[in-house]
Amino acid sequence: MASGYRFSEYIPPQGNEANFESLLKIFLQLVTMTSGDAAEALSWMSSLDKQYNLTSDSYGMGDFIDDLRKKGYLQENPEDGSMQITAKSEQSIRKSALEEIFGKLKKGNEGNHATPHTGIGDEATTDRREYRFGDALEQISMTDSIRNAQVNHGLSDFMLTEDDLEVNESEHKTQTSTVLMIDISHSMILYGEDRITPAKKVAMALAELIKQKYPKDTLDILVFGNDAWQIEVKDLPYLEVGPYHTNTVAGLELAMDILRKRKTGNKQIFMITDGKPTCLKEGIHYYKNSFGLDRKVVNKTLNLAAQCRRIHVPITTFMIASDPYLQQFVEEFTRVNNGQAYYSSLKGLGHLVFRDYRRNRKKTF
């Protein structure tokens, strides 16, 4: 029986299902921008509908909201009856961010960071070699080893020695632990430019990418303003900018604490920010200076960059700004850490983060 592919004419979805899918894409974008506020996102959608006729007489905004409930994207808060997104919506937002930012990537098999080294690994190859002390029993190729024993000792007095053993070679696969630092200081929404939404999308896309393609890697996410604290991936859609200064020191200290607990060989920090460090915490008080690169704040930040270098943790800084005033600090910070820095527009941020993640995960720092 012949096998192959049968091609037929593509018929796009019709009716309500097509309308729902197109509206869902808009809703997921808006709910990200509203930090998970479903009611505000739907209000924006209603305004857009009036302006651009998103719905039709056969499928209105009320039908769409009903379908969001039925399909598990929306639920009522039992306490106050307000609408809120569900875990299904949160996952859809991450997948949508992944498609938007890394949509041109091809899917790959599960795995870790490939290296040129062979040994005790989890990726089998077609190569064979002699047995070495410490090789796992499951690596031994019994067929090849028995054949060697027959050739070396004959069939009449069969015996199997260590010299007869052959093992299936395997490749080392490295694992990488990444901490992603996101600046949530007030400047991330200053001057009418929304910088926090692209940062959230990049974090969600990176998390979904690691989950799908590199499941043995770890990604920890923290945010920093006056202080720094760790958040879960599921918290990202709800992330908001606060009336904060930029305490980069607190962020780096927390990132280093997280990475100390990780047992992987490769560790790295990605930092998405749009400004200079302007804050330190001294005891219960905050030392702040928003007007310039205060040497007291800068020196403490550079000291941490040097500490990261000594423990082989490179820092890649993604500066969402092109202010020449900041470049001197970023260049000094990068030189002290021996890391990398990029001055990125909001549009190109995701591609830069992915490119560096993929490149760094192939290194042994």
List, run by run, the mean pLDDT of 10-residue segments along the chain (365 residues).
56 67 93 93 94 91 95 91 92 87 48 39 59 74 83 79 79 78 90 84 88 88 97 94 95 98 91 90 94 91 97 90 77 92 74 74 58
Nearest to 170 by CA among 134, 133, 129, 142: 129
Torsion of CA 296, 228, 205, 318, to 10 degrees: 0
Q: Report the amino acid identity of residue 251.
A: G
Q: For tokens 């006056």, name the residue.
A: 226
Whole-number Å distance between alpha carbons of 287 and 119? 51
Q: What was the pLDDT predicted at 363?
A: 61
DSSP bridge pairs for 269: 179, 315
Q: Please calculate the CA angle 164-165-171 and round it to the nearest 5 degrees.
A: 145
337 touches 305 (CB < 8 A) = yes
Helix 61-70 crosses helix 38-52 at what angle (to 10 degrees)?
Answer: 150
Q: Report the amino acid identity of residue 316.
A: T
The half-sphere exposure of 58 on its side-chain side, counting CA atoms within 13 A, is: 7
Whole-number Å distance between alpha carbons of 195 and 322? 13
Q: What was the pLDDT predicted at 5?
A: 55
Q: How does DSSP classify residue 312?
A: T
Instruction: Report strand pairing: 315-319 vs 340-343.
Output: parallel
Whole-number Å distance between alpha carbons of 111 and 217? 9
Quickly count: other Cβ atoms within 10 Å of residue 10's Cβ.
Answer: 5
Nearest to 64 by CA among 22, 1, 108: 22
Whole-number Å distance between alpha carbons of 160 and 107? 44
Q: What was the pLDDT predicted at 9?
A: 62
